[in-house]
Amino acid sequence: MTKTLPHSVDPQTGKRYWLIKSEPLSRIEGKDQEVAYPLSNLLTNSFTTWDGVRNHEAKNHMLNMSLGDYCLFYHSNCPHPGIVGIVEVCKEAHPDHSQWELGNKYVDPKSSHDSPRWWCVDVKFNRRLKSKLTLDILRADPELAEMALVKRGRLSVTPVRTEEFLRVLQMEKESALKDDLDCEIPRDLIDIVS
DNA sequence: GCCAACGTTGGC
DNA sequence: GCCAACGTTGGC
């Protein structure tokens, strides 16, 4: 595995930006483990632990996250995958306890408490995007052609460069303006109906 | 260290 | 549900 260095912080905010993927639609794995975690869950839970990531590259990105960093929140494995909101790192990397939980689908027999293999961060809600930015829209934008989400489709935690993050916010603004003109669906329902 | 087999992700 | 992409595993 290649050692990763974090991308640079936004000089304006001192933050790094990332993208994390989650499935919004209920899906049970194994006996009874719900794997879905829609952004709306973070409206009722004050934070969530981003555990269950079992890819070393994704894990390394989480090890590089700092308190206060922003993560674009992406809904995958659904009819219209895309970025739906922003969450904030509220606890830096700590061992992912699911690796030691008997019966957990993420258990890793090779991992010991002395040297954990898997790590996670906690994130809390920041805000919803005014309008979902679908993968189609993101892929069609030349300024996002190098974005890890586009180039490394299967990685569930990816870095986002400052200029990419700002571009996403700009696209949100443009897209929301368009919604005002031709979308009758109340904002709060957009995620639900999609 | 190579690489075939296998497993997983996630768009479609 | 299919399957391409790609990461991981393990035999050699």
Q: CB under 8 Å to A164, separation ≥6 — which residues?
A: A17, A143, A144, A146, A147
Predicted local distance difference test score (pLDDT) of residue A104: 87
Distance A12 CA to C4 C1' (A): 40
Question: Cα A140 from chain centroid?
Answer: 20
- Which residues constitute the domain of residue A59? 17-193
Predicted local distance difference test score (pLDDT) of residue A152: 92
Nearest to A131 by CA among A174, A87, A80: A174
Predicted local distance difference test score (pLDDT) of residue A1: 36
Q: Please, which residues bridge with residue A122 across strands?
A: A49, A91
- Chunk chain A into consecutive blocks of 10 residues (it has 194) and report each block's average pLDDT, rounded to whole numbers: 73 97 91 90 96 95 97 97 98 95 88 92 97 96 96 95 97 85 56 50
Contact by Cβ (8 Å): A26, A75: no
Q: Is residue A2 part of a domain?
A: no
Q: What is the CATH number of the domain that holds A63?
A: 3.10.590.10
Q: Is residue A10 part of a domain?
A: no
Distance A12 CA to C2 C1' (A): 45
* Number of domain units in chain A: 1
Q: Which residue is nearest to nucleotide B12 (CA to C1')?
A: A79
Distance A167 CA to B10 C1' (A): 24
